[in-house]
Structure 1
Amino acid sequence: MKSSYKSRSFKWLLAASLLFSPVSGLSGQADAAGAYTDKLVLQQNSKVMVHNGRQTLAQQPLTAIKGVSYLPLKSIASLYGYKVGYNASSREATATLGGKTIRFKLNSADVWVGSDKVKANGATMSQNGSTMVPVRTWAQITGSRLSVSGGSITLQWSTLPQADFAVWPSEIIAGKTQVTYLDRSYHPGGLNIVNERWENRQTVFSTPGQYVVTRWVQDERGQWSEPYSVTVTVKAPNQPPEAYFTTDKSVYRIGEKIEYHDLSTDDRNDIVSRKWSGNEPAFFEPGEKLITLEVTDGEGLTDRITKSVYISDEVLYTKEEFDQLFTPVGEKYGISGGSVLQIPSVPYTFKSEKAQMVRSNSPETWLEEGIAYDDQLSGNVRFLFHNLNKIGRNVNMYLVATNINSTTAKVGTSSYGSGGPTQYVSTAGKLATDRYMQSLVSKPATEWTTLKPGESKVIMHGLHSVPIKPNQVFSAYGDVVTDKLIRFRVVVLDPAKDPVQELDSLSVMPRDGLHVRGTFYEANRELVITEPLGYEPKRVVLGDRKMDTYLSGIDGTTGRLELNLGNFGVLYHMNLEVAPRTLIALNARGGHYAGSFIINGQVVPVTKNSILKNQNEAAVLYRTGNSPENVSITFTLASGSNLPVAMLFLPMPEERR
């Protein structure tokens, strides 16, 4: 066979040879083989050449000209097996071996090796009818090792072909993987490789383990290479995972908490999913209960196991007691929605802070491009956006700040949270609220933007990071601060257009008559509750318009008075004295609810894996310990959810054993 790697292997060899030091060097293929087959010793000013211990004479002596040692091309090339020629018209001498031709041009330092040009360390010379070439350049282009000692020069090279190969792919599975052997063999002299021999080569390895695969190659002159070996690691085929779990006991009382311990294993530690069924945290009817665990690995192999526990007639906790004690924070449990109304409501007052809030929610459904809101504000401002795209094509929403002053102004952005774009309204509102609460807790550094007089810039870049597709909902909160009066415009535009350039051509979107658009100035509320909570069941009602009255404001685009229906965008804070062993839970009264609360500095989602779907569900927000606690609660009512909501304070049952 002829090696397809001959040409590029020689180029690699040539590049490697050019890195030789001025005194000596090793060729890449000789390093790989570990030995040289040929050795030539030369003496300055002498025709004597000793090749592999046998003496012969060169046409001209080894001659030093301007510090460069020269030798007749014909004399040295013949020892390497090259055929030498001369072209009188081009004044070029050639040396050819196999498919490789080297060209030396008289009185030039340029040497051509095939199509590659090499700069020699001296110009090619003519002496007494012989073409003289620099010895070091010859060593470089033939991949020879050159060493100098006194007046002696030694060249070493290999005339054997060099076996080389790679194995693909890197991961080989016994009985499954088709193995490919990539040919990387070459000949240092450019001869064709015509034959090969393998040991332990297999296309498919039937059993796992380590295999040493060895190759020899033969050139067109019949010479064999030294062996070249690669160790191949063959892995066992992927085995299905093994599903297994235990419980802390085999017999339980009604309402007794069950601990499940997943002990499933996989030969590659690659279990990607675990699916339980029947693994209730507790059971409330006696009898045998079946629990199943199914595990799946990364290649889709599965295993399952079913075990049983027995529930006795003895009652430890009722369902209601168990849920109050053990439902994880951020998860929900079932309650009787009607019974919540029997819990006494806690009266409260509130203190409002002079905080500004912009609610851009009308039109809630966009039908055309334009300006959704426009107002001039200064200081700290909280923005709330909540909209559905019905324009029929992708759009972006931008917040554009314009400096209307005669001096430079600064605008800063800090806490931010967005949800969507998504087709689900509750998902957008929940994610935006949760991420905004997380941002408030982390207290990000303010990012400042400088505006020259009359200059407009896009700020709050999270708003337009992803285009909003048709029929998708997008919701967001963002905090802004300014040092001067700034004009803010909420722009809805095709993503291909520049919102700053398009500002003057856009008109304000008309209100939809149902939703809220306006600026509100007392948008932070501290709810004041003087009595301690939790000594008996109590509820605090939020977003009901009666006790939690709605904010009044102004639509900056029209000057119309506006009522903040639902008080969405208002930031609430409560600092409560709570009794020992009290459950704080949230119950949705107006329909579904999904949001987040900051409880003592920790963000609690409502809920982690779902939402409150109706008034018969409650989410656990917090539990106090065995002594009274001061509990701090911060929240904003989530867009896309229904109001009112009731925050419940319920004494927990005593723990039993």
Structure 2
Amino acid sequence: MKKFMSLVLVIMLSIISVSAAAAVATPRLDLEFLPEWEVNASSLGGTLLLSDSPEMVVNDGILYQDKVAGTVRLFFYHVNASKDVKKMAVLLENNGKQTAHVTVSQATLGGPGNSWIKVGKETQTSYFSGKQSYQLSIPPAGVVPLSATLIETAIVPNMLVNGIYDFEVDHPLTVTVMMLPVTEDSIQFSRTAAVLPPDEWHLRGTFAGANRQITPVRDYDPSVDGAAGISLADNQIDPYLKGIDATDGSEVLNYGNYGVVYRVSLPSKQGGKIAYYLAPMGGSYAGAIGINHPEVNWSPVATPRDRLYFGDFRKKDLAFLGTYESGDPLSFMFSPPGASNLPVKIVILPQ
């Protein structure tokens, strides 16, 4: 009986020490003037193809196109703004002399849907929920769709489609993102399709540094350090990626760092508990956070969990990410979700 009670006590303590599900009182903090926790940012590599311009697609054509090899992430975000049912396609074309092998390590397709912020949140949650992998082989002069599901999906007017695909390519391939009539053959259509001009925001291009590591300069000490924040995707502390629109050669900026995946390490010294929150600093926001911790099995956490989105009370809203024993290994996986406003802060609060 004593062994049984001891086991129960251990389980209860573990639940108390690491919990993202427990109800907690939202702290009152001046988020705008919260001290910034000093971090170092470094690239973990990878090429990002971003296709989000034109965001509202009125005409049929090529939305983005470039030749890539190595580690690639494709992030696309487009709304059918025409009056007809459409479909999207992502084609991989091999113009080389050797068979190209593609290993897709993550395939996430969100939508189609009329609630754009809901589609963005669901896409992000699915991306951090687990791997959906497969392989493709493309012979010389061959063309293969990256996603068979995508080209079979009808997109009615005003619906958004959001996709995130991570893949490795051993030989250069041309990636082409298109919107086209639902009855058209995508490969035949691509032979004569024109590249659509970007919209005024020009949010498309090829960027180096698809993956980013954020590491604090020193360990957080809950017995000494007070409330602090880590700003992400603000273009001041955390700069936006600069790249090239391969369709016209122009220099572009990834406003919001959409498609970039962050690993935020949170080392701390032993000596108490630490609560973490996500704060939207730019307005309406709906996404998800991946949590890496030896006792966590509820990852990812929706941000926010109790409603579709938050951020109307900007610089005041908080999404609880859990309370953890200091000294435990902990990191968060973050990526700016489509349809949401940036920047955000990760808030660190001693308990």
**3-state secondary structure, aligned to 1:483:** strand
Q: Retained in 1: the 8 A contact 2:107–2:132?
A: no
Give the C-alpha shift of residue 331 in structure 1. 8.0
Give the C-alpha shift of residue 608 in structure 1. 2.8
**3-state secondary structure, aligned to 2:333:** strand
Q: With structure 2 as the length reference, what TM-score do the two structures score? A: 0.86
Give the C-alpha shift of residue 605 in structure 1. 1.4
* Counterparts in 2 of 1:505 and 1:331: CA distance versus 1, 3 Å: farther
Distance 1:516 1:331 in 2: 39
1:539 paired with 2:229, answer yes
Distance 1:599 1:326 in 2: 12
Give the C-alpha shift of residue 520 in structure 1. 0.6
Alignment of 1:101-500 (within 5 A): 328-329=20-21, 334=26, 336=28, 339-439=30-130, 443-445=131-133, 447-500=134-187
Match of 2:318 among 618, 633, 639: 618
1:577 paired with 2:267, answer yes
Deviations 1:433-476 (A, max 9, x none): 1111113xxx444x222222111111223433431110111211
Q: With structure 1 as the length reference, what TM-score do the two structures score? A: 0.47
Distance 2:55 2:72 in 1: 21
Distance 2:334 2:18 in 1: 24
Deviations 1:48-97 (A, max 9, x none): xxxxxxxxxxxxxxxxxxxxxxxxxxxxxxxxxxxxxxxxxxxxxxxxxx
Distance 1:497 1:377 in 2: 26
* Counterparts in 2 of 1:464 and 1:609: CA distance versus 1, 3 Å: farther
Q: Find the counterpart in structure 2 of residue 605 from structure 1.
A: 302
Q: Retained in 2: the 8 A contact 1:587–1:648?
A: yes
Distance 1:331 1:549 in 2: 34
* Counterparts in 2 of 1:332 and 1:419: CA distance versus 1, 3 Å: farther
Listed as ranges, the gaps of 5+ residues in structure 1 are 1-324, 653-657
Deviations 1:172-202 (A, max 9, x none): xxxxxxxxxxxxxxxxxxxxxxxxxxxxxxx
Give the C-alpha shift of residue 522 in structure 1. 1.4
Match of 2:342 among 643, 647, 655: 643
Distance 2:22 2:85 in 1: 35
* Counterparts in 2 of 1:380 and 1:330: CA distance versus 1, 3 Å: farther
* Counterparts in 2 of 1:484 and 1:450: CA distance versus 1, 3 Å: same
* Counterparts in 2 of 1:436 and 1:392: CA distance versus 1, 3 Å: same
**3-state secondary structure, aligned to 1:429:** helix
Distance 1:326 1:483 in 2: 42
- The residue identity in structure 2 corresponding to 1:596 is A
Deviations 1:324-380 (A, max 9, x none): x9995498965556x222321112221112310111000111011111011011111
- The residue identity in structure 1 corresponding to 2:318 is A
Deviations 1:2-37 (A, max 9, x none): xxxxxxxxxxxxxxxxxxxxxxxxxxxxxxxxxxxx
Distance 2:109 2:305 in 1: 17
Distance 1:466 1:609 in 2: 30
Distance 2:56 2:280 in 1: 25
Q: Find the counterpart in structure 2 of residue 149 from structure 1.
A: none
1:555 paired with 2:206, answer no
Give the C-alpha shift of residue 619 in structure 1. 0.6
Distance 2:102 2:343 in 1: 35
**3-state secondary structure, aligned to 1:500:** helix
- The residue identity in structure 2 corresponding to 1:413 is V
* Counterparts in 2 of 1:429 and 1:572: CA distance versus 1, 3 Å: same
Q: Find the counterpart in structure 2 of residue 628 from structure 1.
A: 327
Q: Retained in 2: the 8 A contact 1:414–1:480?
A: yes
Q: Retained in 2: the 8 A contact 1:332–1:617?
A: no
**3-state secondary structure, aligned to 1:484:** strand
**3-state secondary structure, aligned to 1:567:** coil
Q: Which aligned runs of 4 or more in structure 1 are off by greater than 6 angstroms?
A: 330-333
Distance 1:353 1:326 in 2: 29
Q: Find the counterpart in structure 1 of residue 11 from structure 2.
A: none
Distance 2:300 2:346 in 1: 16
**3-state secondary structure, aligned to 1:379:** strand
Q: Find the counterpart in structure 2 of residue 103 from structure 1.
A: none
**Over alpha carbons, which structure has the higher Rg?**
1
Q: Retained in 1: the 8 A contact 2:20–2:322?
A: no
- For the aligned residue pairs, the C-alpha RMSD in angstroms reads 2.1
**3-state secondary structure, aligned to 1:474:** strand
Distance 2:20 2:101 in 1: 45
Identical pairs, percent: 28
* Counterparts in 2 of 1:444 and 1:577: CA distance versus 1, 3 Å: same
Give the C-alpha shift of residue 543 in structure 1. 1.1
Deviations 1:554-602 (A, max 9, x none): 1111111111111111111122213531110011111111111111163
Q: Retained in 2: the 8 A contact 1:597–1:635?
A: yes
Distance 1:326 1:411 in 2: 39
Listed as ranges, the gaps of 5+ residues in structure 2 are 1-16, 294-298
Q: Retained in 1: the 8 A contact 2:50–2:74?
A: yes
Q: Retained in 2: the 8 A contact 1:399–1:459?
A: yes
Alignment coverage as a number of residue pairs = 322
Distance 2:185 2:19 in 1: 50
Q: Find the counterpart in structure 2 of residue 113 from structure 1.
A: none
Distance 1:646 1:467 in 2: 37
* Counterparts in 2 of 1:628 and 1:354: CA distance versus 1, 3 Å: closer
* Counterparts in 2 of 1:331 and 1:522: CA distance versus 1, 3 Å: farther
Distance 2:24 2:278 in 1: 9
- The residue identity in structure 2 corresponding to 1:340 is L
Distance 1:409 1:500 in 2: 18
